[in-house]
């Protein structure tokens, strides 16, 4: 029997002692304020056992991790029609890269890079009555937790400085791959990225993707085949130009965000979330990557 708590404790102790914890993202001014010494890990097994260590109950900005949840809502709403507007290939480029989008006629490589997520935001705006309220309710339903909120300071901070996202949205618009006004789409996108959660809440929220589409309250949110597809996209595209490295070192479908969070899962077995705000050169949490590599190495629990 694996002693998950002892394994998490050992990984935490090693990580917190590391001299180089990476660099906190500064391009969204509000994120630059976060203390680099935060470090939390939370694990939930398919049987509902939970294990946590460090700052696993502190709120942080989930940022790009939200792209997976937006994709799952869009899949639930319009199904296969998504793929007329976004592809499912890894980009091999940074999350905010633009030249590929122009070369490929305004069809983003996948829904987990910024341009792809902006198209998904557009789909949600077209298909939800009250987009921001409805999307937040969806997340709260997945987590079984009504306390989850948008951090409006983070959303406004990115709204004032997210020029590359404006460039991506206008490029999409020029290719007629955005139906709603740029300002409206980006307002939704910046809010979606500004959702705050703890490692513990994120682990619960992502449980449905490890559980064939059924959330912790046993409600069906996606079909089994849809959950499988999202996991495939996370494996190939969840870490941008570091997706290969994550599959190589960790071997799980997962998603990172520039707030320093990473969620990863093994279908029918567990979900794990790490948070450490210091990022590596590719924009993924430095300690989070190391912690997950250590976890799958020690437990031998990975998809490979």
The residues assigned a catalytic role are 64, 67, 189, 240, 258
Position among 180, 200, 256, 276 found at the interface with ligand DON (CB under 6 A): 256
Q: Rank residues 161 and 297 by Cβ distance to ligand DON and give the closer one.
A: 161
Exactly one of 30, 158, 187, 242 binds ligand DON (CB under 6 A); which one?
Answer: 158
Q: How many residues bind ligand DON (CB under 6 A)?
A: 13
**The three-state (H, E, C) secondary structure of the chain, written as one string:** CCCHHHHHHHHHHHHHCCCCCCEECCCCHHHHHCCCCCCEEEEEECCCCEEEEECCCCCEECHHHHHHHHHHHHHHHHHHHHHHCCCCCCCCCCCCCCHHHHHCCCCCCCCCCHHHHHHHHHHHHHHCCCHHHHHHHHHHHHHCCCCCEECHHHHHHHHHHCHHHHHHHHHHHHCCCCCCCHHHHHHHHHHHHCEEECHHHHHHHCHHHHCCCECCCCCECCCHHHHHHHHHHHHHHCCHHHHHHHHHHCCCCEEECCCCEEEEEECCCEEEEEECCEECCCCCEHHHHHHHHHHHHHHCCCCC
Binding mask 194-233 for ligand DON (x = CB under 6 A): ----------------------------------------
95 touches ligand DON (CB under 6 A): yes
Chosen residue from 178, 193, 233, 292 binding ligand DON by CB under 6 A: 193
Minimum Å gap between C-beta 240 and ligand DON is 7
Choice between 38 and 96, CB closer to ligand DON = 96
Binding flag, residue 64, ligand DON (CB under 6 A): yes
Does residue 183 have a known ligand-binding role? no
- Minimum CB separation of residue 117 from ligand DON in Å reads 7
Does the protein bind ligand DON through residue 165 (CB under 6 A)?
A: yes
Burial 112-134 (b: 16+ CB within 10 A, else e): bbbbbbbbbbbbbbeebeebbee
Q: Does 168 bind ligand DON (CB under 6 A)?
A: no
Distance of closest approach, residue 283 Cβ to ligand DON, in angstroms: 4
Q: Which is nearer to ligand DON, 63 or 236 (CB)?
A: 63
Q: Which residue is closest to ligand DON by CB?
A: 64
Subset of residues 97 to 136 that bind ligand DON, contact rule: CB under 6 A: 114
Residue stretches of the annotated binding site for substrate: 64, 114, 158, 165, 189, 240, 258
Rule CB under 6 A: which residues touch ligand DON? 63-64, 95-96, 114, 158, 165, 193, 256-258, 283-284
């Amino acid at each position: 029997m694996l002693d998950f708590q002892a394994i998490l404790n050992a990984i935490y102790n090693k990580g917190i002692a590391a001299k180089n914890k990476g660099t906190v993202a500064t391009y969204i001014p509000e994120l630059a304020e976060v203390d680099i010494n935060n470090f939390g890990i939370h694990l939930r097994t398919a049987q509902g056992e939970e294990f946590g260590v460090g700052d696993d109950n502190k709120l942080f900005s989930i940022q790009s991790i939200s792209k997976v949840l937006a994709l799952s809502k869009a899949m639930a709403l319009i199904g296969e029609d998504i793929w007329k507007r976004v592809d499912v290939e890894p980009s091999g480029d940074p999350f905010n890269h633009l030249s590929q989008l122009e070369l490929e006629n305004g069809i983003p490589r996948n829904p987990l890079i910024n341009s792809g997520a902006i198209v998904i935001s557009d789909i949600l705006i077209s298909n939800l009555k009250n987009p921001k309220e409805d999307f937040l309710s969806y997340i709260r339903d997945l987590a079984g937790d009504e306390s989850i909120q948008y951090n409006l300071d983070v959303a406004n901070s990115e709204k004032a400085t997210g020029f590359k996202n404006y460039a991506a949205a206008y490029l999409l618009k020029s290719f007629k791959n955005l139906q709603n006004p740029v300002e409206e789409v980006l307002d939704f996108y910046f809010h979606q990225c500004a959702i705050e959660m703890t490692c513990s809440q994120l682990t619960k929220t992502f449980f449905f993707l490890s559980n064939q589409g059924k959330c912790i309250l046993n409600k069906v949110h996606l079909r089994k085949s849809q959950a499988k597809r999202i996991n495939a996209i996370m494996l190939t595209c969840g870490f941008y130009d570091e997706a290969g490295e994550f599959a190589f070192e960790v071997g799980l479908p997962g998603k990172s965000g520039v707030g320093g969070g990473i969620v990863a899962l093994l279908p029918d077995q567990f979900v794990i979330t790490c948070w450490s705000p210091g990022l590596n050169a590719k924009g993924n949490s430095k300690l989070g990557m190391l912690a997950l590599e250590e976890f799958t190495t020690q437990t031998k629990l990975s998809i490979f």
